[in-house]
Structure 1
Amino acid sequence: MKQIRWGLLLVLGLLLIVLTACGGQSEESDESGESADNSSETAEGGEQILHLLNAEIIPSMDSSMATDSYAFQFLGATMEGLYRLDEDANPVEGIATEHEVSEDGLTWTFTLREDAAWSNGEPVTANDFVYAWRRAVDPNTGSEYGPYMMNGVVKNAEAINNGEMDVEKLGVEADGEYTLIVELENPTPYFESLTTFPTFYPQHQAFVEEQADNYAIASENLLFNGPFTLEKWTSTSNSWELVKNENYWDKETVQLDELTFEVVKDPQTSVRLYEEGTVDRADLSSDLVDQYSTHEDYEVVPETFVFYLKFNQMNSEDLANENVRAAISRSFNKQALVDEILNDGSLVANGIVPQDFVTTPDGEDFREANGDLVTYDPETAKEYWEKGLSELGKDTVELELLSSDSEESKVMGEYLANQLETNLPGLSIKLKRVPFEQRKDLDAKMDYDIQISSWGPDYLDPYTFLNLFVTEGGNNKMGYSNTEYDQLMEDVATTYATDKNKRYETFLEAEKILFEDAAIAPIYQSSTPQLVSDKLQGVYVNPFGATYEYKWGSVVENE
Structure 2
Amino acid sequence: MDASVKGPAPDIAGAKKGGTLTITDAGAPPTFDPAGAYYEFSMTILSELVTRGLTGYQVDQDGKSTLVPDMAQGLGKESADGKTWTFKLKPGMKYSNGQPVKAADFVYAIKRSFDENLGGQGPVPYLKTTLVGGDTYKGPFKDKGKDFKGVTSKGDDTVIFHLTRKWPTLPYYLAFPAASPVPQSAEKKSTYEKNPLATGPYKFKTFNKGTRIVLEKNTQWDAKSDPIRHQYPDTIDVKLGVTALTEQQRIFANSGPGATTLDISGLDAGLETKAKSQAKQVVFGPSPCESYLPLNSKKIPLEVRQAIAVAYPYDQTRKAGGESRLTYDPATTYAPPQVPGIKQYPAVNGLIGKGSGDPAKAKAMLKKAGKSNFELSWYYVSGKGQDEAANNALKSAMQKAGFKVKDVPVSQAEISEKINDPNAPQNVGQGISSWCYDWPSGDSIYPQLFSTTTAKDGRSVANLQDKAIDQELDRISALDPTEAAPEWLAFDKKMTKQVMGIPLSYSKASSVLGNKVHNVVPDPNHGLPDFAQVWVG
**Common fold: TM-score over 0.5:** yes
- The match for 1:374 among 339, 344, 351 is 351
Partner residue in 1 for 2:299: 321
Change (3 A) 1:399 1:253: closer
Q: Which aligned pairs between 1:463-502 and structure 2 lie closer than 5 A?
A: 463-469=443-449, 470-473=451-454, 477-478=458-459, 480-483=463-466, 484-494=468-478, 497-498=479-480
TM-superposed CA distance for 1:54, in Å, is 0.5
- The match for 2:504 among 523, 528, 547 is 523
What is the letter of the counterpart of residue 212 of structure 2?
A: S
| In 2, Cα distance between equivalents of 1:500 and 1:106 | 19
Deviates more, 1:538-547 or 1:273-282: 538-547
Answering whether residue 431 of structure 2 is matched by residue 455 of structure 1, we say no
Note if contact 2:129-2:135 (Cα within 8 Å) is conserved in structure 1. Answer: yes
What is the letter of the counterpart of residue 85 of structure 1?
A: Y
Partner residue in 2 for 1:83: 55
Partner residue in 1 for 2:335: 353
TM-superposed CA distance for 1:507, in Å, is 2.4
Residues 139-198 of structure 1 show CA distances to partners (whole Å, capped at 9, x for unaligned) of 7976364444335654554575899xx974544211112221234455544333332222
Residues 187-226 of structure 1 show CA distances to partners (whole Å, capped at 9, x for unaligned) of 5443333322223222232333xx33x234x525x43332
DSSP 3-state at the match of 1:424: helix
| In 2, Cα distance between equivalents of 1:272 and 1:444 | 38
DSSP 3-state at the match of 1:293: helix
TM-superposed CA distance for 1:500, in Å, is 5.1
Note if contact 2:309-2:349 (Cα within 8 Å) is conserved in structure 1. Answer: no
| In 1, Cα distance between equivalents of 2:349 and 2:183 | 47
Partner residue in 2 for 1:23: none
Note if contact 2:348-2:497 (Cα within 8 Å) is conserved in structure 1. Answer: no
| In 2, Cα distance between equivalents of 1:206 and 1:442 | 44
TM-superposed CA distance for 1:456, in Å, is 2.9
| In 2, Cα distance between equivalents of 1:253 and 1:413 | 43
Partner residue in 1 for 2:179: 200
Q: Which aligned pairs between 1:393-404 and structure 2 lie closer than 5 A?
A: 397=377, 399-401=379-381
TM-superposed CA distance for 1:514, in Å, is 4.4
Partner residue in 1 for 2:522: 541
What is the letter of the counterpart of residue 420 of structure 1?
A: L
Partner residue in 2 for 1:269: 246
| In 1, Cα distance between equivalents of 2:418 and 2:121 | 15
Change (3 A) 1:271 1:206: same
What is the letter of the counterpart of residue 303 of structure 1?
A: P
Change (3 A) 1:420 1:549: same
Deviates more, 1:258-267 or 1:443-452: 443-452
Answering whether residue 243 of structure 2 is matched by residue 238 of structure 1, we say no
Note if contact 1:300-1:344 (Cα within 8 Å) is conserved in structure 2. Answer: no
Deviates more, 1:372-381 or 1:241-250: 372-381
Change (3 A) 1:540 1:170: farther
Partner residue in 1 for 2:223: 250
Percent of matched pairs sharing the same residue:
18
| In 2, Cα distance between equivalents of 1:187 and 1:75 | 28
What is the letter of the counterpart of residue 485 of structure 1?
A: I
TM-superposed CA distance for 1:473, in Å, is 4.0
Partner residue in 1 for 2:402: none
| In 1, Cα distance between equivalents of 2:371 and 2:239 | 48
Note if contact 1:322-1:517 (Cα within 8 Å) is conserved in structure 2. Answer: no
| In 2, Cα distance between equivalents of 1:461 and 1:474 | 21
- Give 5+ residue unaligned stretches, structure 2: 1-14, 400-404
What is the letter of the counterpart of residue 531 of structure 1?
A: V
Partner residue in 2 for 1:421: 395
| In 1, Cα distance between equivalents of 2:222 and 2:174 | 18
Change (3 A) 1:498 1:172: same
TM-superposed CA distance for 1:347, in Å, is 1.2
DSSP 3-state at the match of 2:172: helix
- The match for 1:301 among 284, 291, 306 is 284
Change (3 A) 1:47 1:391: closer
TM-superposed CA distance for 1:451, in Å, is 7.3
DSSP 3-state at the match of 2:344: helix
Residues 477-527 of structure 1 show CA distances to partners (whole Å, capped at 9, x for unaligned) of 436342232221111123xx14955x3564245435545665543221122
| In 1, Cα distance between equivalents of 2:347 and 2:136 | 34
Change (3 A) 1:61 1:47: same
Deviates more, 1:374-383 or 1:298-307: 374-383
TM-superposed CA distance for 1:228, in Å, is 2.0
Residues 102-152 of structure 1 show CA distances to partners (whole Å, capped at 9, x for unaligned) of 562554332223433333443221111112223335679763644443356
- The match for 2:201 among 207, 211, 227 is 227
Residues 525-556 of structure 1 show CA distances to partners (whole Å, capped at 9, x for unaligned) of 12234433343334433232483333343222
DSSP 3-state at the match of 2:524: coil
| In 1, Cα distance between equivalents of 2:396 and 2:26 | 33
TM-superposed CA distance for 1:79, in Å, is 1.3
Partner residue in 2 for 1:97: 73
Change (3 A) 1:215 1:476: farther
What is the letter of the counterpart of residue 52 of structure 1?
A: I
What is the letter of the counterpart of residue 32 of structure 2?
A: M
| In 1, Cα distance between equivalents of 2:456 and 2:242 | 27
| In 2, Cα distance between equivalents of 1:92 and 1:204 | 23
Report how many residues are paired.
Answer: 480
Note if contact 2:25-2:240 (Cα within 8 Å) is conserved in structure 1. Answer: yes
Note if contact 1:485-1:514 (Cα within 8 Å) is conserved in structure 2. Answer: no
| In 2, Cα distance between equivalents of 1:254 and 1:281 | 17
What is the letter of the counterpart of residue 198 of structure 1?
A: P
- Give the TM-score of the pair, scaled to structure 2: 0.73
Partner residue in 1 for 2:38: 67
Change (3 A) 1:276 1:140: closer
| In 2, Cα distance between equivalents of 1:552 and 1:537 | 9
Change (3 A) 1:529 1:175: closer
Note if contact 1:243-1:258 (Cα within 8 Å) is conserved in structure 2. Answer: yes
DSSP 3-state at the match of 1:551: helix
Change (3 A) 1:445 1:353: same
What is the letter of the counterpart of residue 299 of structure 2?
A: N
Change (3 A) 1:203 1:411: farther
| In 2, Cα distance between equivalents of 1:450 and 1:508 | 25
| In 1, Cα distance between equivalents of 2:108 and 2:421 | 29
Deviates more, 1:269-278 or 1:476-485: 476-485
